[in-house]
DNA sequence: CCAAAAGTGTTGCAACTACACCCATGG
DNA sequence: CCATGGGTGTAGTTGCAACACTTTTGG
């Protein structure tokens, strides 16, 4: 896997990749954010594109560098290319540069104009081991509807990504990528509810999921809880693929 | 409007914009293609992005430069960033460079690696006045399902664009942008059928369109035809906007 | 027994499909 | 009159939403 050093790499100029990394934690949809070192500015996980690197590989690499994960559900959704996406960032850049012990003219790479290709990733947040880079000194999973003002237009990127996620939840079975290998039906329902932003009727949801014929019920059940334990389900990869290809 | 000279412009390196310009002609969905000068290679209308230019403005400019049209339905749909999108193009580049009287090393800008942001445009093909640039010596509207092997990955770009167009036909009323101001119901139906790639039942289609409450029927009718003349319809902008915003 | 989990049955609505049928109009 | 265009009626289907209800099971 590739060089992690953003500053020394042989990158394409003026282009970057930003990843909206979604995770599901405590019944909430969260986004992984990074905080600039010695600074209060938070941002998405982003990176540059190697001169000999596919754009998609760059996104995979960024995801891998920050989370340690590979083979993740990753979708390109929009490219952000307005000049004004940098507006308001100049002061922030100054803060960041100063905080990093660099002069503003010496390190103006951040102030250059960047066109950013937006990807969203769906991960099992329990599997994520966050690795910070030299630009950041903190990370956090933030609830999608409690996100502070971020670097550049990253708030808009998240919003746009969420819209795309929403529209692909049924056709691409996207929600399952946010859950661990096995899960209960009510956990699955919570994921759907969070992504869609509305509550669903349990019985109808259950019927719909089962009728898709993509789930295996594991006969082993939760241990420990009081009362009846919920069943665990697992996405059947073969059935899921059959479903996805039948939907065209 | 901007400088038309691609070679002298102050452009961002490694990034381009490609426009799939759709038009509707003789009951067929067509794409506007350009032929490289003294060469047999056809390509989409493309261009570069000015250092001080929004990406979307670059797409609008490219569209305007080739068609003379402004205020056109234009949608970004995907960014193509594989290294291998250039594969197979090297020989073509050589042909093109030679044909243009340039040496290959002197003019290797075409052989550079480009990431291309794909847009599709929907135009009334009767309004298009094609203007060639210094790279091309011919243009043509080609039927979407009869397109020859194109420059780079332009075939794939068209295919992907068409998929996106298809999925937005109902929610964004995209089809109307391919027709002139006034049109008959059967013309409209043909547009839908061509984009969706299947035949529709006339009566149901008519009912559906009328029930959207977005059309005005013009009492003036076709002149000249034998038998009863069809009514003309016009998209009512206000009603259409109401529809679009109600759909959310 | 109780409480939580899992699942079925039923009703009604809305949208879409297929198709039969009728009216309008220009020649 | 006929051929084409424009439109309604209606029956069947499907998917979904709402909600009542039953069964299972751990303690």
Write the CB contacts of A161 (distance below 8 Å, at least 6 apart in sequence). Answer: A20, A22, A77, A78, A118, A120
Q: Residue A211 CB closer than 7 angstroms to strand C? A: no
Q: Using 70 as the pLDDT threshold, list the residues of chain A that sit under it.
A: 1-9, 86-111, 220-226, 248
- Please give the pLDDT value at position A37: 87
Would residue A234 be called left, alpha or beta, if left means φ above 0 and alpha means ψ between -120 and 50 degrees?
A: beta
Q: Which chain A residues touch B if contact means CB-CB below 8 Å?
A: 12-15, 49, 51-56, 58, 76, 78-79, 81-84, 113, 115, 117
Q: Residue B229 CB closer than 7 angstroms to strand D? A: yes
3-class state of residue B154 by DSSP: helix
B179-247: CATH number:
1.10.10.10
Confidence of residue B1 (pLDDT cuts 50, 70, 90): very low
Helices A185-196/A202-211 angle, 10° precision: 100
Q: Which helix or strand (DSSP H or E) is residue B118 part of? A: strand B115-122
- Of A91-105, B3-17, B66-80, give the lowest mean pLDDT range: A91-105
- B113 contact residues in A (CB cutoff 8 A): 12, 51
Q: Which fold has domain A11-168?
A: Nucleoside Triphosphate Pyrophosphohydrolase (3.90.79)
Q: What is the pTM of this model?
A: 0.89
CA distance B43 to B155: 9
Domain A181-247 grouped into CATH 1.10.10.10: yes
Sheet holding B182-183, edge to edge: B182-183, B231-235, B215-221
List where CATH 3.90.79.10 sits in chain B. Answer: 11-168
Per-residue pLDDT reduced to its tens digit, B153-193: 999 999 999 999 999 999 999 999 999 999 999 999 999 99
Confidence of residue B5 (pLDDT cuts 50, 70, 90): very low
CA distance A81 to B36: 28
- Of the candidates A194, A189, A95, A82, the one whose C-alpha atom is nearest the C-alpha of residue A143 is A194
Closest residue, CA to C1' of C16: B204
List where CATH 1.10.10.10 sits in chain B. Answer: 179-247
DSSP string over A105-162: TTT-GGGS--EEEEEEEE--GGG------TTEEEEEEEETTS----STTHHHHHHHHH
List where CATH 1.10.10.10 sits in chain A. Answer: 181-247
Q: How many CB atoms lie within 10 A of CB A147?
A: 16
Q: Residue B101 CB closer than 7 angstroms to strand C? A: no
CA distance A221 to A218: 7
Percent of chain B with pLDDT over 70: 82
């Amino acid at each position: 896997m590739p060089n992690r050093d953003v500053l020394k790499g042989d990158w394409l100029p003026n282009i970057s990749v930003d990843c909206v990394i979604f995770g599901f934690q405590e019944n909430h949809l969260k986004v992984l954010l990074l905080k600039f070192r010695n600074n209060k500015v938070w941002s998405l996980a982003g990176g540059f594109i190697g001169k000999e690197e596919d754009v998609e590989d760059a996104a995979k690499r960024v995801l891998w560098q920050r989370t340690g994960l590979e083979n993740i559900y990753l979708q390109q959704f929009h490219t952000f290319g307005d000049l004004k996406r940098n507006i308001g960032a100049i002061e922030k850049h100054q803060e960041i540069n100063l905080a990093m012990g660099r002069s503003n003219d010496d390190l103006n790479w951040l102030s250059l104009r960047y066109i950013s290709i937006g990807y969203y990733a769906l991960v099992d947040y329990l599997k994520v081991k966050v690795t910070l880079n030299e630009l950041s000194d903190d990370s956090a999973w933030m609830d999608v509807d409690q996100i502070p003002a971020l670097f550049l237009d990253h708030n808009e990127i998240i919003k746009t990504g969420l819209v795309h996620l929403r529209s692909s939840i049924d056709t691409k079975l996207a929600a399952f990528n946010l859950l661990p290998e096995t899960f209960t039906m009510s956990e699955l329902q919570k994921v759907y509810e969070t992504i869609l932003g509305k509550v669903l009727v349990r019985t109808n949801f259950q019927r719909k999921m089962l009728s898709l014929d993509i789930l295996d019920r594991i006969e082993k059940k939760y241990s420990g809880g009081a009362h009846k334990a919920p069943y665990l389900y697992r996405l059947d990869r073969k059935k899921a693929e059959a479903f996805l290809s039948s939907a065209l």
